[in-house]
Amino acid sequence: MGIFSKQSRAQSQRSATTLIAKGCAISGQFKLESDIQVDGEIEGEIHVAKTLVISQAGCIRGEIFADKVIVNGSLDGICHANSVEVLSQGQVSGTIYSDNLSIEQGGKFSGTTYPASSNQVVELKEMQAGKSDDPEILAQVNQ
């Protein structure tokens, strides 16, 4: 934010996107209130209040909790989201919990998908309490 900007700091922070650059590799547990774009590599648990984008160069290994996930790179693990899009260059291996899954032509998904019950896309505090229900299998896809 420049010193001459009319936008307040709070507005600027709300619209910010976190970027994990190509060549950057990080691991651990992350909680973000803003969007995130992954061009590098992440291993661990990621909680995103908004949208997580994995670009063509991006790779995530671990568990994701987000409102929306867009995959054009590689995801290996478990994904809990209200909406999941696998784009033409995307590759997902693992388990997806979502009621809204789309896979573009050329996109690859190998794993299992379950419907997202109201408690599957969870708040961090609910996860810590250890609450979970066993969902029924919606579809199983192997390629």
Count Cβ atoms within 10 A of the Cβ of residue 82 and give its class: 0-12 exposed, 13-18 middle, 19 or more buried.
middle
Would you state the pLDDT for residue 130?
A: 52
Residue labelled with tokens 């307040």: 8
* Structural domain spans, the chain: 17-124+133-141
Phi then psi for 7, rounded to 5 degrees?
A: -80, 135
Give Cα 86 distance to the centre of its chain: 11
* pLDDT per 10-residue tile (average), the chain, 143 residues: 55 74 96 96 97 98 98 98 98 97 97 77 48 47 45
Half-sphere exposure of 36 (CA within 13 A, CB side): 24
Would you state the pLDDT for residue 116?
A: 84
The span from the CA of 48 to the CA of 68, in Å, is 9
Phi-psi label, residue 124: left if phi above 0, alpha if psi -120 to 50, beta otherwise: alpha
In this structure, the strands spanning 101-103 and 74-86 are parallel
Q: Which helix H or strand E contains 81, and what residues bound it? A: strand 74-86
Q: Which helix H or strand E contains 12, and what residues bound it? A: helix 9-14
Would you state the pLDDT for residue 142?
A: 44
Would you state the pLDDT for residue 16?
A: 86
Would you state the pLDDT for residue 106?
A: 97
Q: What is the pTM of this model?
A: 0.74
